[in-house]
Amino acid sequence: MTDLHIGPASTTDLGAVLDFWKAAAEGTSISDDLAGVERLHERDPEALLLARCAGCDRCEGELAGTVIAGFDGWRCHLYRLAVHPGHRRRGIGAALLAAAEERFVALGGRRGDAMVLDRNERAHRVWGAVGYRPEEQWTRWVKPLG
């Protein structure tokens, strides 16, 4: 695995995270704008975890991956697991998920759930490799607000 530093995003990272998602994430959401990410960060500054390369002259400090580990006091929700295409298959996604799970356990969480696009088969393999499984009885229902 690449040497990594995993930690929460700072306010100065938020614009770069949005650019990163355009290159590394599958699809976009209505809240994928600076105002949405700033609200997330203001509400829970520890939720957006970033993986940065460490110990490598070529990519020192480069953003390699993200995950949002949101906890509402009851449930643990995972969003926006994304790894830079040039850094995939190096264990970065698994390391981000391990950090998210540590956060959840420390907060008293008991089960993590993830939003994963049905068509994103590469992501299905990643999530399955670290122990997550789809629950066929659930369908996500959404309604844009405003």
Decide which of 3 and 47 is more confident: 47
Closest CA to 7 of 50, 60, 53: 50
The neighbour count for residue 76, using CB atoms within 10 Å, is: 21
Mean pLDDT of 110-137: 89
Residue that the structure tokens 């995993």 belong to: 6
What are the tens digits of pLDDT across the range 7-46?
A: 999 999 999 999 999 888 876 677 788 999 999 999 999 9
- The string over 104-115, giving b where at least 16 C-beta atoms fall within 10 Å of a residue's C-beta and e elsewhere, is beeeebeebebe
Ramachandran bin of 108, using left for φ above 0, alpha for ψ from -120 to 50, beta for the remaining angles: left
Identify the DSSP state of 66: E
Identify the DSSP state of 11: G
Crossing angle of helices 92-107 and 121-129, rounded to 10°: 60
The neighbour count for residue 97, using CB atoms within 10 Å, is: 24
Task: Report pLDDT for 27.
Answer: 64
- Going along the chain from its start, the domains and CATH numbers come out as 4-129 (3.40.630.30)
Q: Which pTM value belongs to this model?
A: 0.90
What are the tens digits of pLDDT across the range 90-102?
A: 899 999 999 999 9
